[in-house]
Structure 1
């Protein structure tokens, strides 16, 4: 979940004029990034070996 303060910081970085689509894209990106950071902090990640195994399954 994104916080108001994070959203405010991002809006400040925008140019004076921007489209709603650009804003929505940035909000989605920030939310995904925050989610991944939280998962990493919670050690909710997979090892490189597990990742390699998953990738091998994709190409079978």
Structure 2
């Protein structure tokens, strides 16, 4: 879950002027990264070797 501190840090790293759309896109990206990190911590991620094997099958 996002925290105020992480969102504040995100805003601090943005240019002095930006659109609301840019801010919303970055907040959504930050939330997705947080969710993915949580999945990895919970052991719910996909093994890199499994992904490479699956991609090799797609590219045949």
TM-score range, shorter chain: 0.7 to 0.9
Within a 5 Å distance, the mapping from 1:1-60 to structure 2 comes to: 1-48=1-48, 50-51=50-51
Give 5+ residue unaligned stretches, structure 2.
none
Range with bigger deviation, 42-51 or 8-17: 42-51
Question: Cα RMSD between the aligned structures?
Answer: 1.7
| Equivalent pairs, count | 60
Give the TM-score normalised by structure 1: 0.77
Q: Report the Cα offset of residue 42 of structure 1.
A: 1.1
| Cα distance in 2 between the residues matched to 1:25 and 1:45 | 24
Give 5+ residue unaligned stretches, structure 1.
none
